[in-house]
Structure 1
Amino acid sequence: MKAILCRTFGLPDTLTLEDIPSLVPGPGEVLTQVKACSLNFPDTLTIRNMYQFKPPLPFSPGSESSGIVTAVGEGVTHVKPGDRVFTFGSHGGLAEERISDARATIPLPDGMDFVTGASTLYAYGTSYHALKDRGQVKPGETLLVLGAAGGVGLAAVELGKLMGATVIAAASTDEKLAVCREKGATHTINYTTEDIRERIKDITQNKGVDVVYDPVGDKWAEPAIRSLAWKGRYLVVGFAGGEIPKIPLNLALLKGSSIVGVFWGAFTQKEAGLSMKNMQEIAAWVMAGKLAPHISKQYTLAEAPQALTDMMERKVIGKAVVLVS
């Protein structure tokens, strides 16, 4: 079978397309024929050995995918060969076959296509866990989403709107912000041309925002925390901006605010029941047309390195999807 392989850590142009032996699932594992693989920013970190999950070399990148079950290992009973599923993990999606943990393999709802299935788990799962379980967003509250045009950011915009919040989307270009408005943002901030703190003061009439969803970090974290309202919640989702910020803790004291970590991957393992409930709710919203992944572009398997490069260069709005087979 064909697979994109990372044989040495580096940039996407070091990845190779190769023929490798077929895979065999072990106990508690599921083998799928991959149909589509949706890329996420952590995939660009994993191939550079910069992410908390560090697969042994060589490995195929790609954290979430959809496909058809072709075999199951001992003890797996909730899916069987022939079932359509979506699945996730730290790697393995950019290949014609994928081995996945059965706990991370979920039946695809009837009527959901493979591209949508591959684009649903990671972004919506992360953002719903962040907003519902960690941020406890309530109707009528104000939500600021940084990096709002990325995969998880755009999902947070959609979910925030659906949960009854007033959404402020912050991104780097007017083109990206236009998509954010289409997805439900009431207000937008171009943080390359506008002063983010002054804009938030203007939008909220000096009250500040109730929740900050931050997958970017870097230089945007501190002004966002300074823009929190009393008892606001700052959600630490990721560091796509490059630098992990150092936050003056007196800001949390002065605002009576909370700095809350969001680690969806660990949540799916440690609280599997609640995670599955979240995913069922997300799938129902997608099937009802209340949520719809924004697909920036579709790529072939051979074009996967270019897709990762486009993601690193901030050219992707929403999701980049690789059609595998």
Structure 2
Amino acid sequence: MHAAVVHTFAEPPRYDEFPDPVATGPGEEVVEVLASGLHPRVRSQADGTHYTATDELPLVPGVDGVGRRADGSLLYFVLPDTALGAMADKTLVDPGRSIPVPNSIDPVLLAAAMNPAMSSWVALKRRVTFTPGQAVLILGATGSAGRLAIQTARFLGAGRIVAAGRGAERLAALTALGATDTVDLAGDDETVAQELAAKAADVDVVLDYLWGPVTEKAIMPLLLARTDRSRLLSWVEIGSVAGPDIALPSAALRQANVCFSGSGQGSVSAAGILRELPDLVAEIGRGTFSVDAVARPLAEVAEAWADAPARATERVVLVP
């Protein structure tokens, strides 16, 4: 079969031949891949920087997708850490890590939406005690996952949604998705700190797709400006687009009631994630979420890989 194949972590994958998958046990099933999203998570898998990465090469990237079973039915699947990913003509799936989806659903739309949407969906359902009416700050709101986080928070009943990202034009478009306030992170440090303190100090939940220096500079202005510092602030780290590390002042943990946690593989079990997905699939199928999906042939994986960073608000989907 053909697949996107990583031969070295120093180079992007290329369209190449790869051995056909063979099911060897009751927990494996060969499916025809219909669509697989080129998510930031997949890029870090392919360059060896994700925290689950191993040194195993060659590697077919792709962590999830939409497939067709031998009986013609469709499923959405999430793969374990494996060298045989979803960006191929066929792959091996564990039925226990997949859910059936209607044959009427658009595979490209579903493959584009599920990974970025589940990041906020699972975080708000599994990592915090979120109740309708609470306020949410989204750091990294102008990216594909951040835009879906706004819509997810709105769908789940957030009373106020502060969207922080870069670019006036991109931020202006977020109001239609449900953002009630915006903060442009492209400003100077003092201006950004003042805006975050004024607009987001009293939120209940932070969904953080950035981490790194952006988060580091945001923590204290937010905490010190809270009207009631003893009221819980749940800070959920989901991505690290701005950097993998922060310096956290010990005073932050003493001066305010803040709880830092993460949402991703390990912090939520695969079974726990899968239990939340049928409802998300249903909402995507109903058109609840606005998603910019761009389909590219799998044979053009090298070109799609190079183009993807420029498509911040879009999600590229590879189609065999």
TM-score (norm 1): 0.86
2-side partners of 1:149 and 1:120: how far apart? 15
Residue 289 of structure 1 pairs with residue 278 of structure 2 = no
User: In the alignment, which residue of structure 1 is the partner of 2:298?
Assistant: 301
Distance 1:236 1:138 in 2: 19
CA distance in 1: counterparts of 2:117 and 2:49, whole angstroms: 23
Once the two structures are TM-superposed, the CA of residue 281 in structure 1 deviates from its matched residue by 1.7
Displacement of 1:264: 4.1
Could you list the per-position Cα deviations for residues 93-119 of structure 1 after superposition, in whole angstroms to 9, with x for gaps in the alignment?
A: 211111122222211134211112212
Structure 1 residue aligned with 2:244: 243
Counterpart for residue 46 of structure 1: 45
Whether 1:197 and 2:193 are equivalent positions in the alignment is: yes
Report the residue type matching 1:108 in the other structure.
Answer: V
CA contact (8 A) 1:210 1:233 kept: yes
Q: How do 1:169-318 residues align onto structure 2 when only pairs under 5 Å count?
A: 169-193=163-187, 195-204=191-200, 207-226=201-220, 227-228=222-223, 229=226, 230=229, 231-264=232-265, 267-269=268-270, 272=271, 274-295=272-293, 297-311=294-308, 313-318=309-314
**Per-residue deviation at 1:314?**
4.9
Contact 1:87 1:106 in 2 (8 A): yes
Shift of 1:213: 0.7
Tell me the alpha carbon deviations over residues 192-235 of structure 1, each in whole angstroms, 9 at most, x when there is no partner: 1363321123325xx43221111211111123322144311111
Q: Which runs of structure 2 are paired with 1:74-113 in the superposition (5 Å)?
A: 81-89=71-79, 90=81, 92-113=85-106
For residues 276-312 of structure 1, give each alpha carbon's deviation from its aligned partner in whole angstroms, at most 9, with x where no partner exists. 33112212222333224332x322213223333334x
Give 1:265 shift: 5.6
Q: For residue 18 of structure 2, what is the aligned residue in structure 1?
A: 20
Deviation readout 1:37-60 (Å, 9 max, x if unpaired)? 111112121122111222521111
AA aligned to 2:248 is I
Q: 1: CA distance between counterparts of 2:266 and 2:119? A: 8
SS for the counterpart of 1:120 is helix
Structure 2 CA distance, aligned partners of 1:264 and 1:151?
20
Cα shift at 1:130: 0.9
3-state SS, counterpart of residue 67 of structure 1: strand
CA change 1:314–1:191 in 2 (3 A) is: farther
Query: Which residue does 2:132 correspond to in 1?
Result: 139
Q: What secondary structure sits across from 1:193 in the alignment?
A: coil
Mapped to 1, the partners of 2:266 and 2:295 lie a distance apart of 25
2:32 counterpart residue number:
33
Corresponding residue to 2:154 among 154, 161, 172: 161
Structure-2 change in CA distance of 1:125 and 1:265 (3 Å): farther
SS in 2 for 1:277: helix
The code of the aligned residue for 1:322 comes to L
Residues 156, 118 of structure 1: alpha-carbon distance in 2 compared, 3 angstrom cutoff? same
**More deviation, 88-97/253-262:** 88-97
- Structure 1 equivalent of residue 10 of structure 2: 10
Separation in 1, partners of 2:246, 2:304: 28
Q: Give the 3 Å change call, closer, same or farther, for CA 179–6 of structure 1 in structure 2.
A: farther
Q: Superposition RMSD on alpha carbons, in Å? A: 2.1
Q: In structure 1, the residue corresponding to 2:204 is in which secondary structure?
A: strand
1:179 Cα deviation (Å)? 4.0
**Structure 2 residue identity aligned to 1:67:** G
Query: Quick one: structure 1 residues 154 and 244, their matched pair in 2 at CA, closer, same or farther if it must change by over 3 Å?
Result: same
Helix, strand or coil: the match of 1:139? coil
Tell me: CA distance 1:266–1:30, structure 2 relative to 1, closer, same or farther (3 Å): farther
**TM-score, normalising length from structure 2?**
0.87
Supply the distance in 2 between the matched residues of 1:310 and 1:108 (Cα, whole angstroms). 30
Indicate if the aligned counterparts of 2:14 and 2:301 stay in contact, CA closer than 8 A: no
Give, as a single letter, the amino acid of the residue that structure 2 aligns with 1:186. Answer: T
Unaligned regions of 5+ residues in structure 1, if any? 71-80
